[in-house]
């Protein structure tokens, strides 16, 4: 009887860990945007992974700079 209860407890704990692990793996998946067929801003298409990585970093930097500039303009408008 004691062995059966211990085994059931172990299976329940294993099931809980499995569910939590599945949720953790699902949460860490990042959706990758579809690569555009034509490059933006007249840039040439990346030839390898390094160039593509640099292009993505540059686009991210430009978007971040734009967002920061918009926020600064918003703050300046609110200032008396």
pLDDT at 13: 97
Label residue 9 by pLDDT band (50, 70, 90).
very high
pLDDT at 59: 94
Q: pTM value?
A: 0.40
Distance CA 55, CA 45 (A): 9
pLDDT at 1: 87
Is residue 80 predicted with pLDDT exceeding 80?
Answer: no
- Per residue in 26-78, pLDDT (tens digit) is 877 765 555 555 555 555 666 788 888 999 999 999 999 999 999 888 888 88
């Amino acid at each position: 009887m004691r062995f059966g209860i211990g085994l059931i407890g172990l299976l329940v704990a294993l099931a809980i860990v499995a569910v939590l692990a599945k949720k953790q793996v699902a949460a860490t998946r990042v959706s990758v945007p579809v690569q555009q067929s034509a490059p933006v801003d007249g840039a040439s298409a990346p030839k390898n992974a390094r160039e593509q990585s640099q292009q993505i970093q540059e686009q991210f930097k430009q978007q971040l700079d734009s967002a920061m500039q918009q926020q600064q303009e918003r703050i300046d408008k609110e200032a008396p």
